[in-house]
């Protein structure tokens, strides 16, 4: 039902994709912070992290950064394993969680090869005034105060390319705020879009390609 | 429950007259222990309900822990006990007939315990039943929930047919038995035997491929994790189910005979021990391949898991629980003349039953400790007090269910559905 890979170009809907230029990423974590602010994620949950790595042996060392949002895989293992079909691949290629259906079994967390999913344990930033008064605006759904314990508490959460922003015609928060301009967002179906052009660059690669998940997040090395 | 007490009392009296019953004090102490454990577990479950999964030590990196380990542990016990009962009812191995009903009861109770573990592990417990409403055919977990249900119904039916004639016999003396006999009158067991055979025959593939192979498949399809993604995983599950189920039955049989002050059939204990030893050897052989292939493949995501298992913070679980107590020591007892001693057979069975907890823990946790992407934080997990106590409470609940059923129902009556004519 959900895990079939939509062939880019086979649908009229835009097929959203993200390109991240690793040469431009300076590891400033602005994307992580803006994502947390945008999606009001609780402590311990970041949809978007920047993995910092030391490569090589001293003195020939180099620091490298790898920003990791959800890959919005074209064959998403997370959706395949979900027993109730709460995780599914939407028309526009974004992998969506139906928080009103998720039973919180966390099978999808175990199955995601990119560590892109988090369970909402219900924690909050108590020191932040009114943090608990509003829930995450995920998918544009307002669920009332977070303290009532309504979903997404007790369910699994993840990056959705800021679907609520896309639906308003805006870019994901991380793309908009990226200081190094390292992120591009757009429609893979549109051959003239920047992402479509960059996706075929010889620098383009995807993470853990051997698993066949076909990520929609494309890196430039 | 209170409605049953009079029947219970009547049956107990009855018990004391006909069979040498257990010491009253011992029985009372046993029930008191179980109820106390359940009360402690109840408090833990309450905390978990109020605080959600924050009461556990689970994280988004290590999303499954002790509860899932216990869940697959009890599914294994159940499938193993059931398959043993099939040796009797389907394949006509009459020498094990004495433990046939106990096998079915064990299988049934284990399954209920397993499902309670799954239930408290859900982030949204109140939506548990929606797992039966919504269905994703790609998800092994979705299939499993349905298989478990069918299997439980099947077990209940088999258990009933195995006891039916004895319930009818008791009906005159006990209201519970009359009620449970569901109006059947005949004490002829030929029909029951046929039903047991039919249900058992349907049950064997359901238990092997549905319940236990299926539970292994939940892990086997996760290509993101080292050591899970292997076609051997479901098979290892099935074999270790046979090991754990046989061990539990041997242990229960010997312990119950002792507790009820009845003679232990040492030949049967030895036969069960032999069977257990055989299963253990197959399990050890599979273990060899299960670890050798990833090790020699030198695929880092596999060898990393093996490293965590063998040298990491859970090494004790692998070397001491799984390998030492769970496999090697009992295999030595059961493969030598030592198995002729009933207490040693019981000890070997006990070691297996305890050791398999380590096996289950090692299946669940180490692969979830290795980060899926290099650079992401590694997981760290050890069950919290709430997880320990709730687990103890749930297991006590299972033991209580088992003990009540064994006390109130004709579980221990000399069963001769297929082998002879004890009651005729
Ligand atoms: S990155 Fe993980 S969460 Fe995102 S679509 Fe792929 S498998 Fe699912
Ligand atoms: S946690 Fe929710 S979204 Fe994830 S597999 Fe379970 S039901 Fe599906």
In chain A, positions 164-203, which contact chain B (CB-CB < 8 Å)?
none
Chain B partners within 8 Å of A102 (Cβ): 123-124, 127
Q: How far is the CA of A73 from the centre of ligand 1 (A)?
A: 6
What does the pLDDT read at residue B14? 46
A186: Cβ below 6 Å to ligand 1? no
Ligand 2 atom 8: residue of nearest CA: A82
B184 domain residue, yes or no: yes
Least confident of A132-136, B256-260, B388-392: A132-136
Give the start-to-end residue ranges of the domains of chain A: 21-220
More confident site: B337 or B20 = B337
> Is B318 in the same domain as B341?
yes
Q: How many Å apart are CA B50 and CA B48, to the nearest integer? A: 5
More confident site: B118 or A53 = B118
Give percent above pLDDT 70 in chain B.
92
What does the pLDDT read at residue B414? 60
Asked whether residue B57 carries a pLDDT value surpassing 90, the answer given is yes
Ligand 2 atom 7: residue of nearest CA: A102
Asked whether residue B389 carries a pLDDT value surpassing 60, the answer given is yes
Q: How far is the CA of B185 from the centre of ligand 1 (A)?
A: 59
Residue B4 — very low, low, confident or very high, per pLDDT cuts 50/70/90? very low
Residue A8 — very low, low, confident or very high, per pLDDT cuts 50/70/90? low
Least confident of B179-183, B254-258, B275-279, B352-356: B179-183
Element (H, E) at A187: strand A183-187
B258 domain residue, yes or no: no
What does the pLDDT read at residue B413? 66
What does the pLDDT read at residue A149? 72
What does the pLDDT read at residue B21? 56
Task: From residue B317, give the alpha-carbon distance in Å to each of A61, B320, B340.
Answer: 38, 6, 29
> Is B44 in the same domain as B193?
yes
Q: How many Å apart are CA B32 and CA B400, to the nearest integer? A: 10
CATH class of the structural domain A21-220: alpha beta
- Two structure tokens written together for B259: 């507790």
Asked whether residue A179 carries a pLDDT value surpassing 50, the answer given is yes
- Two structure tokens written together for B143: 């299939």
> Is B57 in the same domain as B83?
yes
Q: What is the DSSP letter of B383?
A: -
Judge whether B127 and A83 are in contact, CB under 8 Å: no
In terms of residue numbers, what domain contains B356?
269-382
Q: How far is the CA of A3 from the centre of ligand 1 (A)?
A: 11
User: Could you report the per-residue pLDDT of B346-377, keeping only the tens digit for each?
Assistant: 999 999 999 999 999 999 999 999 999 988 99
B256 domain residue, yes or no: no
Nearest atom within ligand 2 for CA of residue A107 = 5
B51 domain residue, yes or no: yes
Q: How many Å apart are CA B358 and CA B121, to the nearest integer? A: 19
Ligand 1 atom 2: residue of nearest CA: A112
> Is B101 in the same domain as B214?
yes
What does the pLDDT read at residue B418? 54
Residue for token pair 């049967």:
B268
> Is B79 in the same domain as B214?
yes
CB neighbours (10 Å) of residue B199? 23
Instruction: Count up the domains in chain B and report the number.
Output: 2
Q: Nearest CA to CA, how far is B232 from chain A (Å)?
A: 18
């Amino acid at each position: 039902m959900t895990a079939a890979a939509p062939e880019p170009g086979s649908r009229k809907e835009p097929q959203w994709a993200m390109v991240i230029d690793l040469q431009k990423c300076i590891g400033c974590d602005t994307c992580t912070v803006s994502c947390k602010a945008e999606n009001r994620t609780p402590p311990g949950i970041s949809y978007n992290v920047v993995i910092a790595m030391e490569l090589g042996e001293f003195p020939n060392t180099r620091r490298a950064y790898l920003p990791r949002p959800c890959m919005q895989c074209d064959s998403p293992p997370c959706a395949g394993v979900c027993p109730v079909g709460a995780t599914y691949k939407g028309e526009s290629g974004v992998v969506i969680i139906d928080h009103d259906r998720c039973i919180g079994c966390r099978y999808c967390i175990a199955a995601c090869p990119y560590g892109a999913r988090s369970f909402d344990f219900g924690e909050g930033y108590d020191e932040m005034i009114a943090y608990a008064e509003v829930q995450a605006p995920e998918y544009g759904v307002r669920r009332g105060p977070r303290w009532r314990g309504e979903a997404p508490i007790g369910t699994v959460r993840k990056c959705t390319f800021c679907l609520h922003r896309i639906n308003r015609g805006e870019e994901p928060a991380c793309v908009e705020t990226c200081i190094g301009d390292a992120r591009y967002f757009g429609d893979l179906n549109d051959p003239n879009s920047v992402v479509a052009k960059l996706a075929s660059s010889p620098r383009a690669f995807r993470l853990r390609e051997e698993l066949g998940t076909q990520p929609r997040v494309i890196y430039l090395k | 429950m209170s409605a049953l007490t009079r029947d219970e009392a009547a049956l107990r009296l009855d018990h004391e007259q006909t069979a040498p019953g257990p010491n009253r004090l011992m029985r009372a102490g046993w029930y008191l222990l179980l109820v106390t454990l359940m009360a402690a577990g109840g408090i833990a479950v309450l905390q978990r309900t109020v605080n959600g999964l924050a009461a556990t030590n689970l994280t988004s990196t290590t999303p499954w822990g002790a509860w899932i380990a216990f869940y697959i542990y009890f599914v294994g016990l159940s499938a193993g006990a059931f398959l043993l009962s099939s040796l009797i009812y389907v394949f006509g191995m009459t020498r094990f007939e004495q433990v046939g009903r106990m096998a079915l009861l064990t299988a049934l109770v284990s399954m209920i315990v397993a499902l309670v573990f799954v239930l408290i592990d859900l982030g949204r417990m109140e939506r548990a039943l929606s797992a039966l409403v919504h269905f994703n055919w790609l998800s092994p977990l979705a299939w499993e929930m349905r298989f478990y249900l069918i299997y439980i119904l099947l077990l209940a039916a088999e258990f009933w047919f195995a006891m039916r004639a004895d319930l009818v016999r008791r009906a005159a003396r006990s209201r519970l038995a009359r009620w449970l006999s569901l109006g059947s009158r005949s004490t002829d067991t030929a029909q029951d035997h046929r039903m047991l055979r039919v249900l058992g025959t349907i049950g064997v593939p359901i238990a092997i491929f549905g319940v236990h192979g299926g539970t292994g498949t939940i892990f086997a399809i996760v290509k993101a994790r080292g050591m899970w993604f292997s076609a051997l995983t479901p098979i290892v599950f099935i074999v270790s189910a046979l090991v754990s189920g046989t061990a539990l039955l041997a242990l229960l049989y010997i312990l119950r005979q002792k507790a009820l002050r009845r003679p232990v059939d040492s030949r049967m204990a030895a036969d069960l021990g032999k069977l257990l030893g055989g299963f253990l050897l197959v399990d050890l052989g599979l273990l060899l391949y299960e670890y050798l292939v990833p090790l020699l493949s030198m695929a880092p995501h596999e060898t990393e898991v093996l490293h965590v298992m063998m040298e990491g913070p859970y090494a004790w679980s692998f070397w001491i629980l799984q390998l030492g107590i769970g496999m090697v020591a009992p295999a030595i007892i059961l493969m030598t003349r030592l198995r002729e001693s009933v207490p040693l057979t019981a000890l070997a069975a006990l070691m297996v039953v305890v050791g398999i907890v380590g096996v289950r823990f090692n299946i669940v946790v180490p692969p979830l400790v290795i980060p899926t992407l290099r650079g992401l934080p590694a997981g760290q997990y050890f069950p919290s007090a709430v997880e320990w106590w709730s687990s103890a409470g749930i297991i006590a609940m299972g033991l209580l269910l088992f003990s009540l059923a064994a006390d109130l129902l004709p579980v221990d009556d000399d069963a001769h559905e297929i082998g002879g004519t004890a009651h005729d």
